[in-house]
Structure 1
Amino acid sequence: MGAGGRQAGSARGLTGARDVRLLALAFLAGVLAVHQLATLPPLWLPAMLLLPGLVRWPGHAIWLAAVLGAGWTIIDADKRLTARLPVAAEGETRTLTGRVASLPERDAIRTRFVLESDADPARARLAWYGEHPPLRAGDCWRVTARLSVPQGSANPGSFDYEAWLWRQHLHATGYVDSARRCDADAPWSVNRWRQAASEQLAAALDAGIGAALIRGLTLGDRSALTDADWQVLRRTGTSHLMAISGLHIGLLATLVFLALRGVLPWLPPAGMNPPVLTLAALGSGLAALGYAAFAGFALPTQRALLMVAVVLVALVLRRPVLPSRVLALAGLAVLIRDPAAVLAPGFWLSFAAVAWILYLLRGRLGSGGWRRWLWWQPALVLALTPLTLFWFGQASIVAPLANAILIPAFGVVVPAVLGAAALTLVWPGVGAPLLRLVEGALATGWQGLAWLAELPVAQVSLAPPSAWALLVAVAGLALWLAPRGIPARWLGVIGLLPLLAAPPTPAPGAFGLTVLDVGQGLSAVVRTADHTLLFDAGPRYRSGFDTGRALVLPYLKSRGIGRLDRVVISHGDIDHRGGWPAIRSAMPVGQALGAATDRPCLAGQSWRWDGVDFRMLHPATPGGEDNDGSCVLRISGAGGSVLLTGDIEASSEQALLDREAEGLAADILVVPHHGSNSSSTGAFVQAAAPAFAVVPAGWRNRWGFPDPAVVARYRQADARVLHTGRVGAVRFDLRPGEAVDVSRWRLRYRRFWHRPVCGSAGRAGSGSLSCVQPEEGR
């Protein structure tokens, strides 16, 4: 081929690569667009939108890719919605026969596992409480279980549990009433192998951080890592090292490829001249596939495996391959396999990290020695900071230092861990002592990482940026980190400024109230222009789940709140004070009143913040921490008033009527005792006469709160009754001279995979999904 032919072929290759990248981005845009919708469109809509793309015009291929992405997402989502448990079946007890399709997760009070059956719901996440026979992946069980619709608390800033269940293809949750083994165990199961290997490794190791890291790095089994361990990883920006991804898969594939390419020519029979490159690529690919399978095929693992596969095929075919094209093909493969992957932070962080690395290689950091490497880490961490702020509201300051040390070290750590683990599994007598040596080295290294995490400047927390602020920041970074020769690169810094923007606060004289959805409990946040008050901290459960840490703190951080000026714990019940220790340890607190504090609530206590008055109405005398001793706080400003009542019951309500009959009126009332019929007497409801009555109770809780008779009383008083278990967190803005503005999080941040609420069903025109009313009694 002549020079002209080579140049033409090169140009066609570059154009094709560019097309693949654009098509992948268009497909991603279509997938992402559907996932922003509150209602799933009918399938005929993308079918109609395909028609313009069938005519050739500039950009028709991009149009087709986007519409295909949207259509494929609708098909996938429609199938999942049909398979999930309908709301009308909430609380039903069903008998399911199926196999354990996950590694069982055991804690102090229960074992959680996924049961995969032939009947609907096809995949259910079940909890088995108390003592029970051991569970193994692949075992067949016939269980009688009480089932629930996939649902979780709905609050700004907190983890979207319903989205996680959707990503995991889980169609119901529930708990086991009874169960017995059946005779159809899976003869072959990757998870069965993973569990056996995990147990064998655990038996060879001590129950410490070193053992937890080994199981995580070899099998993707991170169940032994505690919340404190994850906190160390997050504060040092090294969580990605525990997600088996390109670093791990690529390193193993490279080592196996080089080893086979060096050894194969020397193997007998002599003189055969085996296809070394092909066999080395095949062996390398099989090693990568085996590692990915034992790691559970998580999203970063899938991406890495696909990229390794494309590179190995290109090597065998002796075809040049552009890394950006490999990344685009891997992204397309992941999205075709599972469109819901776009809901996972790992999808964005994994692909973005590789994309930024490729960009930096072509830019100012593309060549050089160790000095370039030192600049690489802060540049990459800075490039990923907008995404980490968007997903987690925090970024690590010490991440460049930690990663500059650990990433090169993993070139030794990963082979050592995998080699010692493999030897332990096949030859325990030799492998176990080596594995314990590796365990000790990892535990020693962890101490240094933990010290780094304890530094006060290790991490910065900011309010998560909006999607638009994220896009502006990414564009600014792309300009700032662009190759030399591009003018005015410094202007890219301006694009980072929106990341620092704090959410708006009320004007002087105005205030906001947010009653969080913490399940069966209470936590409410009051904000004035310059002050924040927390009333109750939500429950903590026997399982260890702490709503203070998991729900309240993320909400506070999402609103840019770094300090609580005052905390009121209404009384001693665990559903009101359970989250207080976690909040107190994570955030500065000016003053605390009530249960579990040094200063009790007492009627007559008062203060004024930014033109807003706070007055404690109950209890009249300090003492008990039971329901009737609950703190009752009235907040009033020019825009309206709020009454926070804790768990007071009828006798305390009468005492308040006797002392404060005229001071109970409020625009917004947080209903006493979660709507129990032991509270909210007719006289109290009439005296309060609220426009809004908020019931802080779990959805379909076992006590049946709110009681229908209580709801009827508030309705008779012309109050709108809002149930946090149904509508999620409820936010009120009370501004002088304006009507009270109310926002219900489940309706504001509505997505089709969320538990359906009447008026916003998950699928357009679908009658198979029952729904619940957004307001009680309506």
Structure 2
Amino acid sequence: MGAGGRQAGSARGLTGARDVRLLALAFLAGVLAVHQLATLPPLWLPAMLLLPGLVRWPGHAIWLAAVLGASWAIIDAEQRLSARLPVAAEGDTRTLTGRVASLPERDAIRTRFVLQSDADPARSRLAWYGEHPPLRSGDCWQFTAQLSVPQGSANPGSFDYEGWLWRQHLHATGYVEAGRRCDADAPWSVNRWRQAASEQLKAALDEGIGAALIRGLVLGDRSALTDVDWQVLRHTGTSHLMAISGLHIGLLATLVFLGLRRALPWLPAGMNPPVLTVAALGSGLAAFGYAAFAGFALPTQRALLMVAVVLVALVLRRPVLPSRVLALAGLAVLMRDPAAVLAPGFWLSFAAVAWILYLLRGRLGSGGWRRWLWWQPALVLALTPLTLFWFGQASIVAPLANAVLIPAFAVVVPAVLGTAGLALIWPDLGAPLLRLVEASLATGWRSLAWLAELPMAQVSLTAPPVWTLLIALVGLAWWLAPRGIPARWLGAIGLLPLMMVPLAPPPGAFNLAVLDVGQGLSAVVRTAGHTLLFDAGPRYRSGFDTGRALVLPYLKSQGIRRLDRVVISHGDIDHRGGWPAIRSAMPVGQAVGAATDRPCLAGQAWHWDGVEFRMLHPTTPGGQDNDGSCVLRISGAGGSVLLTGDIEAPAEQALLEREAEGLAADILVVPHHGSDSSSTTAFVQAAAPAFAVVPAGWRNRWGFPDPAVVARYQQVGAGVLHTGRVGAVRFDLRPGQPVNVSRWRIRYRRFWHRPVCGSAGRAGSGSLSCVQPEEGR
């Protein structure tokens, strides 16, 4: 082939690569657009949109790719919704027969696992409390279980548990009432092998961080890592090292490939196979085996697909552009699972590789040690917008930690995999070696934990809106562009919108957010310059702490870094459970009420920014029971709020006798979660709120709010808002304006979320009309 032919072929290759990248981005855009919808459109709509793409015009292929992505996402979502537990069956007790389809996770009070039904595609996440026979992945069981529609708390800034259940293909949750083994034999499965390996590793190792790290690196089983351990990883920007991805899969594949290439030519004459082919095949099998044992998580899938494309290109002796490999891997992941676009790991994993490719071609593309010196902070900076978007925080020490640990993993990963494999095959020899690796990891972890405790090791910022994220990414691309691009420093301006925080109310105004913390209470009041927290939500026996998991993320999402006052209404765990976590994580000016050094008493009062706060109850200190709850009235030019804790009829009567005229409020947080022992007719009539907020869990076991209580509030014209149904409720009270109400589950609804009422997901299949009477007057 002449020079002209080679140039033409090269041009065609580059054009094809560019087309693949654009087509992959278009397909991604179509999938992503569907996952922003509150209801699924009918499939005929994207089918109609395909028609313009069947006619040749500039960009018709990109249009087709986007519409095909949307169509595939709708088809996938429809299949999942059809397998989901119907809303009408919420709370039903059913008999389920199936196989354990995950590694069972055991804690102090329960075992959680996934059951794959034998009769249909349904997968349920079940909890079995107390003592029970051991569960093994792959075993057949018949359970009697009470089931629920997948649901979780709905608050700004907090983890979308319902979205996680959707991504994991989990169609119901519940708990086991009784269970017995089936007679069917357990088939071969990777998870069964993983569980056997996990149990063998547990037996060979001591309990501790070293053992937890080994199980995470070998099996992708991170259940032994505690919240404190994850905090160390987040603060140092090294969480990605525990997600088995390109670093791990690529390193193993490279070592096996190079080892086979070096060893195979030494075989006796006549036995030498095609070296490159066998080396590539052996490398691919090793990568696939590692990915399988790691559970095929999203970063693992991406890494495996990229390794496979590179190995095929090596065997065929064809050049392959890294960006094309990345695009093909992205298409493969989305074809397998469109819901991957909801996972932070999808974006961080692909973005990390894309930025590396960009940086290596840019001004960081040469210079030896200087390239490495600048590569880490540049990559951390490039990923910061995404990290802030998903987690609301970024690590300052991440460049230092990664500059040391990433090269170290070239030794750590082979050492862990080699000794773990030897311990599984030949325990007498491998177990002692594995314990040496365990001790080394534990020693290194102490250094990492020290780094995480440094002042300003990480900073928490408000999770940025999507538009600021896009501006920041464009700015970073300009700032880190190749040499020759003029005024690159101007790209840094694109980062400024990331620093935006939600505006506080103006003087004289305030807002109230009643959070969805399940069966409990936590409310946040914010004025122009101050913030008050009324109750901190529950803490459960399982260890789940709503203060850490729900309240603190909300505060950070609003740009709140300090609490000027905290009121813990009384001693029940559903009101004070989250207080220790909040107190340890955020500066607090003054705390009153239960679990504090200062009681709340009627007559206490203060003014913030033109807003008056006055304690109405109790009159004597020391009360920890329901009727000793703190009752706080807040009033400003825009309206008034009454926070009541768990007071019941006797306390309500005492308030009527002392403060009859002071009980009137525009917004009332309903006493005792709407129990029939509270909200007497006289109290409701005296308060006469426009909005009555019931802080109660979805389908809680007490049946709160009581229908009779709801009726009493409706009789005085109040709109009744149940946090378990509508999620967090926020009220903005501004002088001269009507009260503005925002309900998180409705305002930010997605089709996979548990419906407020009606049916889930599909357009036209349900209605939110049942919430309209709650608007109030």
Equivalent-residue separation in structure 1 for 2:578 and 2:667 (angstroms):
24
SS of residue paired to 1:534: strand
| Counterpart in the other structure of 1:401 | 400
Shift of 1:418: 0.2
| Residue pair 1:727, 1:775 contacting (<8 A) in 2 also | no
Distance 1:654 1:396 in 2: 53
In the other structure, the counterpart of 2:86 is 86
Distance 2:540 2:403 in 1: 39
Shift of 1:367: 1.7
Alignment of 1:116-127 (within 5 A): 116-119=116-119, 122-127=122-127
The one-letter code sitting in structure 2 at the alignment partner of 1:43 is L
Q: 2:7 — aligned with what? A: 7
Q: What letter corresponds to residue 243 of structure 1 in structure 2? A: A
Counterpart residue identity of residue 281, structure 2: L
Counterpart AA for 1:635: I
Query: Which residue in 1 is equivalent to 2:354?
Result: 355
In the alignment of these two chains, the number of paired residues is 776
SS of 1:542 mapped into structure 2: coil
TM-score, normalising length from structure 1? 0.99
CA contact (8 A) 2:718 2:774 kept: no
2:637 and 2:623 mapped to 1: Cα distance?
34
Query: Hey, what does 2:140 align to over in structure 1?
Result: 140
Matched to 2:491, the amino acid is G
Aligned to 2:464: 465
**Cα gap change, 1:770 to 1:612, in 2 (>3 Å):** closer
Provide the residue aligned with 1:441 in structure 2.
440
Sort the Cα spacing of 1:333 and 1:34 in 2 relative to 1 into closer, same or farther, 3 A. same
**3-state DSSP of counterpart to 2:623:** coil
What SS does structure 2 have at the residue aligned with 1:146? Answer: strand
SS of structure 1 residue aligned to 2:765? coil
C-alpha distance after superposition, 1:512-546 (max 9, x if no partner): 00000000000000000010000000000000000
| Distance in 1 (alpha carbons) for counterparts of 2:638 and 2:391 | 33
- Residue 114 of structure 2 corresponds to which residue in structure 1? 114
Measured in 1, the distance between the counterparts of 2:769 and 2:752 equals 13
Q: Tell me the residue number matched to 1:203.
A: 203
Measured in 2, the distance between the counterparts of 1:362 and 1:776 equals 57
> Quick one: distance in 1 between partners of 2:600 and 2:337?
53
| Separation (CA, whole Å) in 2 of partners of 1:159 and 1:98 | 29
Q: 1:771 to 1:168 in 2, by over 3 A?
A: farther
Counterpart CA distance in 1 for 2:342 and 2:710 is 37
Distance 1:458 1:777, change over 3 A: closer
Contact (CA 8 Å) 1:729, 1:746: kept in 2 or not? yes
Shift of 1:775: 6.3
Per-residue CA distance 1:658-679 (angstroms, 9 max, x = gap): 0000000000000000000000
| 1:723–1:776 Cα contact (<8 Å) kept | no
**Structure 2 residue 331 is matched with structure 1 residue 332:** yes
The answer for the alignment partner of 2:238 in structure 1 is 238
Q: How does 1:57-206 map to 2 (within 5 A)?
A: 57-119=57-119, 122-206=122-206
Find the aligned partners of 1:347 and 1:761 in 2 and give their Cα distance: 25
Does the 8 A contact of 2:111 with 2:127 survive in 1?
yes
Distance of 2:758 and 2:473 partners within structure 1:
37
Q: Which amino acid in the other structure matches residue 156 of structure 2?
A: P
| Alpha-carbon contact 2:758-2:765 (below 8 Å) kept | no
Q: Deviations over 1:187-230 (max 9, x none)?
A: 20100000000110111111010000000000000011000000
SS at match of 2:564: strand
Give the percent of matched residue pairs that are identical in Structure 1 and Structure 2.
Answer: 89
* Residue pair 1:84, 1:120 contacting (<8 A) in 2 also: no
Query: What is the deviation of 1:103?
Result: 0.2
Question: What do residues 445-481 of structure 1 show as CA deviations (whole Å, max 9, x unaligned)?
Answer: 0000000000111000000000000000000000000
Q: Which amino acid aligns with 2:530?
A: H
Q: Structure 1 residue 623: deviation in Å?
A: 1.7
Q: Which amino acid aligns with 1:572?
A: G
Residue by residue over 1:226-269, the C-alpha shift from the partner in whole angstroms, topping out at 9 and shown as x without a partner, is 0000000000000000000000000000000000000011123x
1:476 maps to amino acid: G
Q: Give the Cα separation in 2 of the matches to 1:145 and 1:179.
A: 8
Tell me how far apart the structure 1 counterparts of residues 502 and 765 of structure 2 sit (CA, whole Å): 37
What's the CA shift string for 1:35-87, capped at 9, x where partnerless? Answer: 00001000000000000000000000000000000000000000101110011
Q: Do residues 500 (structure 1) and 503 (structure 2) align? A: no
Matches of 1:108 and 1:688 in 2, distance apart? 44
CA distance in 2 between partners of 1:121 and 1:320 (Å): 42
User: 1:219-238 alignment to 2 at 5 Å?
Assistant: 219-238=219-238
1:593 aligns with 2:596: no
**1-structure distance, mates of 2:337, 2:774:** 37
Matched residue type, 1:364: R
One-letter amino acid of the structure 2 residue matched with residue 84 of structure 1? R
1:555 maps to 554
The corresponding residue for 1:53 is: 53
Q: Is the 8 A contact 1:88 1:771 kept in 2?
A: no
* 3-state DSSP of counterpart to 1:714: helix
Q: CA deviation at 1:122?
A: 1.2
- Residue 307 (structure 2) pairs with residue 308 (structure 1): yes
Quote the Cα distance in structure 2 between the aligned partners of 1:318 and 1:626: 77
Per the TM alignment, residue 273 of structure 1 is displaced from its structure 2 partner at its CA by 3.7
CA distance in 1, matches of 2:759, 2:460: 34
Question: Which deviations, in whole Å up to 9, do the C-alpha atoms of 1:535-582 show, x marking residues without a partner?
Answer: 000000000000000000000000011100000000000000000000
Q: Does 1:342 align with 2:321?
A: no
1:663-702 residue pairs with structure 2 within 5 A? 663-702=662-701
Quote the Cα distance in structure 2 between the aligned partners of 1:772 and 1:277.
66
Over aligned residues, Cα RMSD in angstroms?
1.3
- For residue 759 of structure 1, report the CA deviation from its aligned partner: 7.1
Cα 1:629/1:120, change in 2 over 3 Å? farther
Partner residue, 1:282:
281
Cα offset for 1:734? 0.1
Using the alignment, how far apart are the partners of 1:757 and 1:430 within structure 2? 58
CA contact under 8 A between 1:112 and 1:128: conserved in structure 2? yes
The answer as to whether partners of 2:752 and 2:760 remain within 8 angstroms in 1 is no
After superposition, give the CA deviation of every residue in 1:675-704 in whole Å (9 maximum; x if it has no partner).
000000000000000000000000110000
For residues 193 and 772 of structure 1, do their structure 2 counterparts lie closer, same or farther at Cα, with a shift above 3 Å needed?
farther
Corresponding letter in the other structure for 1:136: R
CA–CA distance in structure 2, aligned partners of residues 111 and 568 of structure 1:
36
Residue 539 and residue 602 in structure 1: after superposition, are their counterparts in 2 closer, same or farther (change >3 A)?
Answer: same
Which sections of structure 2, spanning at least 5 residues, go unmatched? none
Provide the secondary structure at the position in 2 that maps to 1:217. helix
Equivalent positions of 1:519-668 (< 5 A) are 519-668=518-667
- SS of 1:95's equivalent in the other structure is strand
For structure 1, the 5+ residue unaligned runs are: none
CA distance in 2, matches of 1:775, 1:359: 54
Q: Which residue of 1 aligns with 2:726?
A: 727
Give me the whole-angstrom Cα distance separating, in 2, the residues matched to 1:610 and 1:481.
44
Query: 1:456 is matched with which residue?
Result: 455
CA–CA distance in 1 between the matches of 2:62 and 2:98? 43
- What is the alpha-carbon distance in structure 1 between the residues aligned to residue 424 and residue 760 of structure 2? 50
Match of 1:485, SS state, is coil
User: Deviation digits for residues 304-336 of structure 1, max 9, x if unmatched?
Assistant: 000000000000000000000000000000000
Task: State the one-letter code of the partner of 1:384.
Answer: L
The alpha carbon displacement at 1:770 in A equals 11
Query: After TM superposition, which residue ranges in structure 1, 4 or more long, deviate above 3 angstroms?
Result: 758-761, 769-778
Q: What letter is aligned with 2:53?
A: G
CA pair 607-167 structure 1, distance change in 2 beyond 3 A: same
Give the conservation status (yes or no) of the 8 Å contact 1:756–1:772: no
Q: Secondary structure at the match of 2:88?
A: helix
Shift of 1:271: 2.9
- Which digits, 9 at most, give the CA deviation of each residue in 1:391-442, with x for residues without a partner? 0000000000000000000000000000000000000011001100000100
SS at match of 1:99: strand
3-state SS of the aligned residue for 2:50? helix
Distance in 2, Cα, partners of 1:505 & 1:119: 54
How far is the alpha carbon of 1:776 from its aligned partner? Answer: 6.8
Paired residues of 1:571 and 1:594 also in contact (CA < 8 A): yes
User: Which SS does the other structure have where 1:162 is aligned?
Assistant: helix
Q: Distance in 1 between matches of 2:136 and 2:768?
A: 35
Tell me the TM-score normalised to structure 2 length.
0.99
**Residues of 2 paired with 1:104 and 1:760: CA distance?**
31
